[in-house]
């Protein structure tokens, strides 16, 4: 076994001590292994489900609130809450009364094809003012599945 005495001139050696770097690397590896599973995998989404037995369900579900925005020839849209006609000025009061005692505050908005999106955005703003937590938009593709 031979020992090195610092080279031929007896000066300092130029070798790097890698033991502290390996210790830091292992600690970082353990930290990243613990942190990565905590990150969320995706977004939560509520999708309306079709009834399991459509023959039994003859009346509409009382829990599902659908606000329809219908395009009129005059330019002003008309509104319905679950097939009940409602004026635009009464929309906030009716939605507030509906969701006042509900634990599940979910609402769906259905607009006509010829409708300006500003009318849909207005209904969404009114629903947020009525403390609705989740608002879904019913599209024609979802409608075809029924």
**What does the pLDDT look like over 94-133, one tens digit per residue?**
998 888 888 888 889 988 888 888 888 898 899 898 888 8
Give the CA radius of gyration of the chain.
32
pTM equals 0.55
Indicate the pLDDT class of residue 1, thresholds 50, 70 and 90.
very low
Look at residues 44, 71, 48 and name the one whose alpha carbon lies nearest to residue 61: 48
DSSP state of 23: H
**Which CATH number does 65-141 carry?**
3.30.420.270
Token readout for 89 is 């000025």
Token code pair at residue 146? 């029924």
Whether the CB-CB separation of 13 and 6 falls below 8 Å is answered with yes
Delimit the domains of the chain by residue range: 65-141
Task: Please compute the mean of the pLDDT values over residues 35-62 and round it to a whole number.
Answer: 62
């Amino acid at each position: 076994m031979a020992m090195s005495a610092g080279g031929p001139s007896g000066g300092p050696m130029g070798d790097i001590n890698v033991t502290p770097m390996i210790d830091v690397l292992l600690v970082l590896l353990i930290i990243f292994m613990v942190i990565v599973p905590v990150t969320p995998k995706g977004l939560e989404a509520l999708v309306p489900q079709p009834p399991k037995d459509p023959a039994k369900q003859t009346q509409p579900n009382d829990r599902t609130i659908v606000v329809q925005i219908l395009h009129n020839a005059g330019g002003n849209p008309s509104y319905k809450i679950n097939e009940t006609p409602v004026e635009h000025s009464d929309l906030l009061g009716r939605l507030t009364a509906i969701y006042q005692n509900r634990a599940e505050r979910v609402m769906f908005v259905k607009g006509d094809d010829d409708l300006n999106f500003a009318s849909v955005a207005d209904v969404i703003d009114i629903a947020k003012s009525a403390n609705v937590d989740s608002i879904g938009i019913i599209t024609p593709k979802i409608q075809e599945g029924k």
